[in-house]
Amino acid sequence: MSAEDQIKQTITTNDVVLFMKGTKSMPQCGFSSRVAGVLNYMGVEFADVNVLADENLRQGVKDFSDWPTIPQLYVKGEFVGGCDIITEMTLSGELDTLFSENGVTYDKDAADKIREANA
C-alpha cells in the first residue's frame, strides 16, 4: 500500500488522527507532545500515527497535506493544521467548535481550563 493510500485509509476510518513524531503516550518531539497533550487532556479519542516508524509515511503526509511540518491533525478526513494552528484554535475556542460541529466527543471543562491557564 502506498503512503497516500495508507493516509487516506487512516483519515477516513478514524474521526480524529494525529500524525506525529512518537506516540500519544510517548511523544518524541515537543510540538507533537503539545498537540497530543491537548487532545489527551480534552479527552478526545484519536488515532496516533508515528511518522518516525516509516520514512515514506513521514514524507507522504507532508506531500498529502501540502504542509511541511509534523505534527498534523485531521478531523473527519480534513486537514486542520499543525502545532501552532492547533494551539491558537484551542485558546480561541475554535477547536471546541470544530469538534462539536463534527460530532467529536471532548471535555468542554478541560478545554475551558486550558484557556483559563493561558489567559
What are the φ and ψ backbone dihedral angles of 22, each rounded to 5 degrees? 95, -155
Could you give the CA distance from residue 9 to residue 68 in angstroms, rounded to a whole number? 21
Could you give the CA distance from residue 113 to residue 115 in angstroms, rounded to a whole number? 5
Could you give the CA distance from residue 112 to residue 117 in angstroms, rounded to a whole number? 9
Confirm or deny that 29 is annotated as ligand binding: yes
C-alpha cell at 63: 506531500
Residue pair 95/34 in contact by the 8 Å Cβ criterion: no
Binding residues for [2Fe-2S] cluster: 29
Binding residues: 29
